[in-house]
Amino acid sequence: MDAEILAVGTELLMGQIANTNAQYISSRLPDAGINVYYHSVVGDNPVRLKDAVKRALQRSDAVIMTGGLGPTQDDLTKETVAEVLGRKMVLNEECLKKIEEFFRRTGRVMSENNKRQAYFPEGSIILDNGTGTAPGCIVETDGKVVIMLPGPPSEMKPMFERYVMPYFLSKSEYVLHSVYVRIFGIGESMVESMLMDLIDAQTNPTLATYAREGEVTLRVTARCRRDEDPEPVLKPVIDEISARLGDNIFSTDGRSLEQVTADLLIKKGVSIAVAESCTAGMICSRLGDIPGISAVFNRGFVTYSNEAKVENLGVSMETLMKHGAVSRETALEMARGARKAAGTHIGVSVTGIAGPGGGTPEKPVGTVFMALSDGAYETCRELHLWGDRAKIRNLSALNAFDMIRRYLLSKYGND
């Protein structure tokens, strides 16, 4: 079954909010065997909305609409669908009672136009709204279906999970199972060329790559009968991909690079201190995102000035003078110093030129050094990054997490 998600709301077309409803619904429907082929957004305009509903019904089996169920004059979704399908709008008494009860319970005054929310296209299956006043509905017609859900995500999501997923699951024979193989350290075209034969041969599961800043994701999707275990379809392909890409894969279970690295630190009981210059707290802050990180994250130093590097980390003035604050030598001394000051298992450092100023011909903007020291073993990465200040800092932080992750894997393994 193919679906289209049609959002109704001028606030989307004005860019005041992003269409996160479409993202949410799209991420869920494959689990019910539904392919999403289109997202559309139209404003609160009756002519364009009618046109969009007609179009969606022509090209899709299921049309899932969000928004336009509210009490005001510009909420037109149900009326427009009724018109397109040639149905009357009829009052649902039970629903009216529930809306009146909601207003009583929350101590608010119900205005006359709230009654509009109790009218539906004739023959609708009505969907209770557990977290707001606007009910949703399902209208079946000629082997197709239109589902209308409220716009606020806090109302849409519970209604979707409670009614829409079970509705589709009860009808579908096949479902999709996706595994996201997340990769750091090699680019998208390199990943493709390393897997070209698998990509060319894909039938079930299917493979698709996409890149975002610093990361490549490979989606592996199996199509199975509803009661079939996807493991035998997915596992051989995932195993083959893992064998080829090795430690460049950091997760296959949805976790971010930061989460994977933090989980390894916690699991292995490796305490860490961080010294940051150009990333200026970004690595510490991302560690701080992880609940439970305090078990291993002792402290961090944002040593923006040279004095801070000397005073808090014990970097030698001579090193700073001879090699500069952005150098392999300084990075190593920062990592050692952070580790020593905090008394942790490892110290990690980043120093670089994030721009837009500060570059020189020898060390242009984007030159970044990072180091890790555990007292015995030391490693250093030299990067030459491209992009604006935000991108250089983000890629620096990601590389630092990757450096820590690979260190932990090589020293402690993954088990």
Q: Which is nearer to a second copy, 244 or 384 (CB)?
A: 384
Q: Candidates 92-100, 181-189, 234-242, 372-380 — which segment interacts with a second copy by CB under 8 A?
A: 181-189
Q: Which is nearer to a second copy, 108 or 225 (CB)?
A: 108
Beta carbon of residue 83, minimum distance to a second copy (angstroms, whole number): 20
174 binds a second copy (CB under 8 A): no
Beta carbon of residue 347, minimum distance to a second copy (angstroms, whole number): 13
**SS3 readout for 138-189:** EEEECCEEEEEECCCHHHHHHHHHHHHHHHHHCCCCEEEEEEEEEECCCCHH
Report strand pairing: 136-141 vs 125-127. antiparallel
CB burial class (10 A; 0-12, 13-18, 19+) of residue 292?
A: exposed
Per-residue contact string for residues 95-114; x = within reach of a second copy by CB under 8 A: -------x--xxxxx-x-xx
Beta carbon of residue 415, minimum distance to a second copy (angstroms, whole number): 26
193 binds a second copy (CB under 8 A): yes
Per-residue contact string for residues 384-413; x = within reach of a second copy by CB under 8 A: xxxxxxxx-x--------------------
Q: Which is nearer to a second copy, 123 or 152 (CB)?
A: 152
Q: Which is nearer to a second copy, 88 or 108 (CB)?
A: 108
Q: Are 301 and 341 in contact (CB under 8 A)?
A: yes
Per-residue contact string for residues 224-263; x = within reach of a second copy by CB under 8 A: ----------------------------------------
What lies within 8 Å, CB to CB, of 261 at 6+ separation is 401, 402, 404, 405, 408
The residues in 291-330 that bind a second copy, with binding defined as CB under 8 A, are: 291-294, 297-305, 307-308, 311-312
Distance, CA of 269 to chain centre: 28
Q: Which of 341, 359, 379, 380 binds a second copy (CB under 8 A)?
A: 341
Q: Which is nearer to a second copy, 277 or 327 (CB)?
A: 277
Q: Which is nearer to a second copy, 248 or 298 (CB)?
A: 298
Q: Candidates 34-42, 327-335, 371-379, 404-412 — which segment interacts with a second copy by CB under 8 A?
A: 34-42
Beta carbon of residue 177, minimum distance to a second copy (angstroms, whole number): 12
Beta carbon of residue 37, minimum distance to a second copy (angstroms, whole number): 6
Beta carbon of residue 71, minimum distance to a second copy (angstroms, whole number): 5
| CA gap 106, 119 in Å, rounded | 22
Beta carbon of residue 384, minimum distance to a second copy (angstroms, whole number): 6
198 binds a second copy (CB under 8 A): no
Q: Are 147 and 77 in contact (CB under 8 A)?
A: no
Per-residue contact string for residues 3-22; x = within reach of a second copy by CB under 8 A: ----x-xxxxxxxxxxxx-x
Q: Which is nearer to a second copy, 72 or 414 (CB)?
A: 72
Pick from 1, 104, 107, 6: which is nearest to 54 by CA? 6
What token pair was written down for 45? 């305009």
What token pair was written down for 142? 């000629």
Q: How many CB atoms lie within 10 A of CB 223?
A: 18
The residues in 112-141 that bind a second copy, with binding defined as CB under 8 A, are: 113-114, 131
187 binds a second copy (CB under 8 A): yes
